[in-house]
Every structure is written in C-alpha cells, then in structure tokens.
Structure 1
Amino acid sequence: MKHYIGIPGTNATDSTNLKLLQYMQQHYAEKVSIELVNLGTLPLFYKTPDHSVPAEVTELAKKISAADGVIIATPEYDHAVPAMLSSALAWLSYFIEPLAGKPVLIIGASYGALGTSRAQAQLRQILDSPEVRAFLMPNSEFMVGHSLSAFDEQGNLTNQTLVKRLDGLMQDFDIFVDMTKKLTHTLAQHRQDAANVDWEHTEN
C-alpha cells in the first residue's frame, strides 16, 4: 500500500481543505494511506545564518522523503496560496530538498465558485521552481467550489460527479507515482539541481 503525506495549506480546524483531505483519507483507506500534517507548527520562514532549519521542518522533511507522494490541498486568499503554505515550501527547499523529484498532486476547495484555480496555478509555479523541483501530476486540477455546502454531516462529498472525478484522479496519481520511480536519471538531476541552488545570492 502506498503512503502519501496530505498537506492542508492552512491550520484552520474548520478548513474545507482539511475536510477534503480527511474525506480522501477515509474514502481511500483500503487503497492508500494518507497521513495529514499540520503546517501550524512551523515558524515563519527566514534565512538562518548557519543554513539550519527548525526541528519541526526537519521532521516534516523526513516524512515527505519517506512517502510515495504528496497531496497538497490549498485554499485561495487574494488569488494566491496562503502565506503559511508559501512559508512552509520555502523551508522545505532551504538547503534541503525533500520535494525534489517527489510526485505531488494539487487539489483545493473554496467558498466561491472558482475552487482555488488561481492558487493552484501559483502553487504549480512554486513547486516547479529550481529550489523545489517536485514532479507535478499533469493535467490534474481538482477543485471543489462552494465548499461550505459540499460535504454532508459525516464529512463526505455529496456531489457524485466530483467523487467520480476524484476517484479517477487518484487512480491516475497511483500510476504517476509508479512512473516517476522509473525516471532514475531525471530524479537524480532534480535533486542535484535543487541542492545546487545558491540561497546566498537569492533576493531577500
């Protein structure tokens, strides 16, 4: 059974993005294991003089490195990813590279009709940056609009069209994860490229 790390891009306990990941955790429990993490334990990113990262970041990096893939559920604030998620990704690329060559699936839920489309586009740019170098699941937007009414009292998605779409996406992600493991040369290059980023001369 594959093991994924699920990252909600907010630490709000009533987040519909957290609810979406919790639904997936239960709905696919017989096929994959999804471990949810809390970004609220991480400090705001800053460049440490000795290039060290906080213990909380190191622990999260270890979990990501050991996982088969990562699922990120991002909210959308002002057409962008939340500051907490952006800060966490900066830590996870600061002289460490757990996401380099790691298969990543992006999903999102929002109160409005667009379902985090702009935030997902920005998140793709971040994950594709030289500092991160993740393997992004292609052509895989999954967005839940009007998310306050998208779940029943048991936390299940009520729109069966969305459920069917998510089922197919998870099946494809399973295949994508297996495919990336065979790209040994590309994986090695991604990790090397991420490790070679010169943080000393990046803009402050």
Structure 2
Amino acid sequence: MKFVGLVGSNAEQSYNRKLLEYIRKHFKTKFELEVLEIDKVPMFNQDQNWQDSFQLRLLYNKMIRADGVIIATPEHNHTITAALKSVLEWLSFEVHPFENKPVMIVGASYYDQGTSRAQAHLRKILDAPGVSAYTLPGNEFLLGKAKEAFDDEGNIISEATITFLETCLDNFISYVGVVSTLKKPRPIEKEDLDCKHPISTTVTEVDPDDPEWVDKVAEITGAVSGDTYVKLDHGILTVDQINMFLKAMPFELTYADDNNQFLYYNNTHQDPDTMYAKRIPSQSGSRLSTVHHSLPPTRMKNVEWVIGTLRNGNQEYVRTLIPNSNPAVLNTHNYQAMYYPDGSYAGINEIVFNFKPWLDWYLQTTGQTLVGGADATSGASDSRHSLNTADATSGASQH
C-alpha cells in the first residue's frame, strides 16, 4: 500500500513531522509512506487559481494516487493550524482529492492530552461536503509530551507507545482494504493517440512518423552523444555509458510521453522478431496511433484504457501476461506511470520480459514448488492491476 503523510504544520521544527518520519521509517515493511509538506501553500483565496501553487499541485497529484492519507496535526488554540485549514480549503473548492479517500489522524503536542481537540475538529472538517473523506472512526493516536517522547535519532522511546501506534496503523491498513472496494475510478476521457497536443519537450519541426525522426531531431536540438557527460540525480555518466546500461538491462524498455509520442526503446541490438514486444528503429518518435495502426478497434480501446487509467491515477501500474503457447515463456508486460516534479502524469515506461526464468530460479533457489497460480497461456492475473491486451506503447501482440 502507498500512503501519503501530511505534515499539519508549516513550522521548520515540528514534532508532527518527526512523528510521520518515524512512522515512515519504522513501519516501512507494512506500507510505503511519502511525507508531504504544506509550508509553501498560500492562504486560501477563491479568486486565485490553485494550480499556480507548485506545492498544491504536488499535494493533489500525490493524494489522488495514494491508497490512504495520514494527517499529523498539531493543536493551536484548541484547533488545527491555520496552514492546515487553508490547505483543506484549497483541496475542497475546485478539486476534491480527499473525496472517498481513507484518512487516519495522528497528532503530537507538548501537553498530556496530545492533540485531542484538534483531532476532533479535523474529523468534522474532513466530513464536510466538498471534502468527504472516509475518516477512520476512533483509533485515535495522541502523542503527548512530545519533547520527551523522542530520542536524539527521532525514535519514539516508549515501547508501549510504539505498540499502540502499530495497532492503530494496522487498523488503518484494514480500513483501507475495506474502503478500497468502494473506490470509483475517475472517468477516462478519450486519449489523443495522434500527438495533437504538443508539450514543452515536443519537437514540432519534425513529423512524429518520419522514419528519420531520431537523426533529424538530434540535429535540431543539438542532442549530445558519445563520451559527453550527463549529470543525473545520483551520478554522472557519459551518453555511451547510459546507452550501454540500458541495453544491458534484462528487459525490453519503452517510453511514451504524456503527449502519447513513442520516444524510446532499448535493446536495439536485437532482431525485432526475437523480441517479446516487437519494435523497429523507425518507430522511435512515432504517434501511438501509428505504432498501433494494425490493431483492431477493440484493441485500440484497450490501449486508450491503459493510458487513461495511468494518467488519471486510478492505478499506479497495469500488468498483463501476453498469451504464448511456449511453456518456457511467460511474456510479462508492466506499464508504469511516470510523473513530473509536481506529481502530474509524464507518460508511461513499459517493461517487457520473460518471467519464467526468474520464476524457475526463485523456486529452485528456495526449494519451493508452484501450486496453482495464474494461467500462463491465457494471461490471467491480478484483476486490479492487469489487462489482457496488446502492448500499450509499442503494439506488441502474441508471438
């Protein structure tokens, strides 16, 4: 499960931030928690556009994809902070990411009673029209005497408190599981597979379906190559090294941007006919409508569904097994949404590989035996994150 934690204070030093960070680290095997700040959100003003705030866009995009939200609220004058109230106003006026979202409330304060009054007030706000969150009843975690509650490494000192916090979190996990059955996916609008809406990185001077798209765009943009160094988030590599790294991956990788333009695939050294998702060099840069031109209309609808589902945040990924009569092949496709820094949809990366050797290695290494399981020839798998369809970005089908 993926949760987001909302720090209910805009202060630089916050015990509620410390509480969320402790939850993130100490219970990382139970769920993934991303801690989000509200320190740069402007005071709510209905005459202004919420999208002008990077932090509000980030909060919105992260929350709509999260399985649940944990809010850590301080208590100011028997209620929540003005900063948190302003965030809730913004996120219940034109957009409604809390709607039908499971929410757990925690809080830390200097005094014995924790944040009991603030939490009671916050529950009323979250139940208001326009917010309409599913707040877990009861299950209150109130951390009093916060100054003495943590050690120098940010860990909660009291074992009894840790045990109670774990019980509350386990209850929330169960609650999310129940509430998720009531979740209604956001409606999927018709996808533009013809790349008619250029984005900031679209090179409009070259037609996407030009078979020489890569070379022509490289010349226009002055794209670097060879031993030119590229600074990445956590390293510096040459372009040649990046290419070697990507080609050596034991997967077929594909990238299509949020304008539905097919920009890249690796493993160019392979014979296309031996690939699990057949691709050819002239497809790089093409419109997805062109890449999939040979598919029947019903399969094209599946392509649009995959893209729309990921774009909307209805699912974080979509997985499928492509039917194959060869018992040595489990043709596995994973479509993963990618995101810009503000959390908005940036396109799809697709991973294609034969899962069978990995499965055989695991069973042999652990001495286990596979009993039952998915039908390897029909493509049946987990219904929540699967789709029996053609490759959504490269047009792969059964081989």
TM-score by length of 2: 0.45
Secondary structure in structure 2 of the residue aligned to 1:5: strand
Deviations 1:4-44 (A, max 9, x none): 11011112232111110010010011221110111012111
- For residue 84 of structure 1, give the secondary structure of its aligned residue in structure 2: helix
Native 8 Å contact 2:22 2:156 kept in 1? yes
DSSP-derived class of the 2:34 partner:
strand
1:89-128 to structure 2, matched below 5 A, reads 89-128=88-127
Aligned amino acid, residue 54 of structure 1? D
1:25 aligns with 2:28: no
Q: How does 1:1-204 map to 2 (within 5 A)?
A: 2-48=1-47, 52-56=50-54, 57-184=56-183
Relative contact order (C-alpha < 8 Å, sep 6+): which is higher? 1
Structure 2: runs of 5+ lacking an equivalent: 187-399
Q: Judging changes above 3 Å, is the alpha-carbon distance between structure 1 residues 31 and 44 closer, same or farther for their aligned structure 2 residues?
A: same
- Distance, in Å, in 2 between the alignment partners of 1:156 and 1:106 is 19
- Percent of residue pairs bearing the same amino acid type: 39
**Cα displacement (A) at 1:52:** 4.9
Between the aligned partners of 2:118 and 2:80, the Cα distance in structure 1 is 5
Distance 2:64 2:28 in 1: 21
Q: C-alpha separation between the residues in 1 aligned to 2:50 and 2:62?
A: 18
SS in 1 for 2:167: helix
- Measure the CA separation in 1 of the matches of 2:108 and 2:52: 29
- Three-state SS of the structure 2 residue aligned to 1:29 is coil
| Structure 1 residue 129 displacement after superposition | 0.3
SS at match of 1:41: coil
Contact 1:53 1:94 in 2 (8 A): no
* Rg comparison, structure with higher value: 2
Q: CA deviation at 1:121?
A: 0.4
Task: Please list the CA deviations of residues 54-95 of structure 1 after superposition, one character each: whole Å capped at 9, or x if unmatched.
Answer: 342122111000001000000001101000000000001111
Identify which range, 6-15 or 163-172, moves more after superposition: 6-15
Aligned residue number for residue 194 of structure 2: none
Aligned residue-pair number: 185
SS at match of 1:64: helix
Specify the code of the residue in structure 1 equivalent to 2:25.
Q
Distance 1:103 1:149, change over 3 A: same
Compute the TM-score of the two structures, normalised by the length of structure 1: 0.86
* Dislocated runs of 4+, deviation >6 Å: none
Distance, in Å, in 1 between the alignment partners of 2:173 and 2:83 is 28
Which amino acid counterpart does residue 100 of structure 2 have in structure 1? G
Deviation of 1:123 (Å): 0.3
Cα RMSD for the two superposed structures:
1.6
3-state DSSP class of the match of 2:153?
A: coil
1:4 aligns to what SS in structure 2? strand
Distance 2:117 2:102 in 1: 21
